Each structure stands twice: as C-alpha cells, then as structure tokens.
Amino acid sequence: KVPDKLEALDELESDVRRLEQIADRFHKVGSPLAGGFEPLDLRLLAESSAAYFRRRLPTSSETTINISGDSVMVSGAETLLQWVLENLIKNALDACQGRQGIIQVQVGREHGMGMIEVRDNGMGISTRDRKNIFRPGYSTKARGWGLGLSLARRIVEDIHRGKLRLVSSKPGETVIRVTLPGAGNW
C-alpha cells in the first residue's frame, strides 16, 4: 500500500536524521566546550526522549514510560544531554525485558540543581556490578560495548559539571539520578 510505504519512508528519513545526530553527539563529546550551552527545559528533554522510545516499542509491549514533574531550566548542550537521557531510558528498557516494565522519569530540583531521575522495575543491578557500571568497557550485556554509562557520566560530570549516580538498585527497582546546575549558575 502507498500509505504504508510513505510511512516507512518517513521513518527511514527520521532514522537517517537520528544517525546524523549521533555522529554530531560523538563529535561534541570530544570538543572542549561541547558546542556551547543553551537554556534547556529538562521536562521537554524527558518528553522528547520518552516519545522516541514509545514510537519504537512493539505494539504488543506492556512497557510504559511515564514522565512526571514540572519544567526545570538548566544550561547545557541539548544533543549531549538528550543522548544521556536516551541512554538511561534504553538501559531501563533493557532491564525490564520479559516483564511488564514501568519506567518512571521524574524531573525536579534537588538542592538548587536540576534533577532527572530514571526509575525502572527491572531486574536490578547486582552488587558485584554496581561498582563497575560507569567504567569504560564494562557491560553486562552480551552485545554491549560498555560505553553508554561511562560516556553519560563524562557528559554530565566533565562537560556539564553535574552528577550522575546510581541511587539504588535491587530486584524490581533501579534508580539513576542526574543533577545539573541550574541556568542561573552558569
């Protein structure tokens, strides 16, 4: 059918733009100032990341991605912070495979900083793995390269002067939190 082919073509064009964004992000990670900072609404960033994954979930999937919290402004490199959030949501989705996954992305403030917290009801991170998850090259996934969380931490901490940490993890719940200086602190 023509409408199906047009929809597939639109999705293909969207994927090409996405690959261009990914290449741009890797370039910016290596740049000293990450391409410059701009005012960003963390709530909109979270909504955009969630929408990206919702479109790609199988129609049979019972996994939900919920966003809560108010608009919180920070100053940052949008493409890099978008990548961080997408990486955290992707990890949460992977942790929920084989179960009715619930991923909660909470936007708010913590001690005057912008905060995004990603919580899932997945399998949890083993005690042995917790100390290594941010180490480059470390992965618990059969096809993982172990770069996602280490790059995410570099983007948050080295480039944006924030914090990325594992708050808690046990079977049925993992919580990862990103805190970023507010727009007024730059």
Q: How many domains is the chain built from? A: 1
pLDDT of residue 47: 97
Residue recorded with tokens 């979270």: 46
pLDDT of residue 98: 72
pLDDT of residue 25: 56
Residue 14 lies in a domain: no
Cβ atoms within 10 Å of 45's Cβ, excluding its own: 24
pLDDT of residue 5: 67
Residue segments in the chain with a per-residue pLDDT below the cut of 50:
34, 185-186
Type of residue found at 84: V
Query: Across all residues in the chain, what is the average pLDDT?
Result: 83
Residue 29 lies in a domain: no
Q: Tens digit of pLDDT for each residue in 115-135?
A: 999 999 999 988 888 888 888
Phi, psi of 171 (to 5 degrees): -55, 125
Residue 28 lies in a domain: no
- Which structural domain, as residue segments, surrounds residue 112? 37-185
* DSSP code for 106: E
pLDDT of residue 129: 87
CATH of the domain at 139: 3.30.565.10
Residue 10 lies in a domain: no
Structure tokens at 117: 């917290």
